Amino acid sequence: MPTSQLKQIQHLVDVGDTMNVISLLNTMDFHEIAEILNRLTDQKRIIFSLLSPEIQSEVIIQLTEQSKQIIIPELSIYECARILYLNDSDDATDILQHLPVSKREKVLQKILEPKRRKIEKLLTFAKNTAGAIMDLNYIIVK
């Protein structure tokens, strides 16, 4: 990612030109957007909020822990639930673990039952363990 592109985005956010920020972000893939967010010292939440829900759900799992700690706790319950809906259960669990327990429960209430049960099962495992990151969807071959 060229530094000039990063500086351009920072400038556009500083002057409040959200339409051009969105246009520029729409030319990038989610890895590039995550790299931008990870390299920024501020404005992470502003730029993240300009992304479509589908892109947010891809970008959020590519963020560094530091970026996740800045962005995820500031999401509304609705925004969190929407992102969890669009992600696999294991990624959704990782996202939820960045929320306070009280907010986590409110977000889980917004998730449909089958997925909520999977996420709740994964939450019983300690963070960064094999159990916490496993995929509960599997097939049995005989």
What are the tens digits of pLDDT across the range 101-124? 899 999 999 999 989 999 999 998
Cα(33)–Cα(31) distance, integer angstroms: 5
Q: Over the chain, what is the mean pLDDT?
A: 88
**Cβ-count burial 44-81 (b if 16+ within 10 Å, e if not):** bbebbebbeeebbbbbbbbbeeebbebbbeebebebbb
Model confidence, pTM: 0.81
- From the number of C-beta atoms within 10 Å of its C-beta (0-12, 13-18, 19+), residue 93 rates as buried
What are the tens digits of pLDDT across the range 25-50? 999 999 999 999 999 988 999 999 99
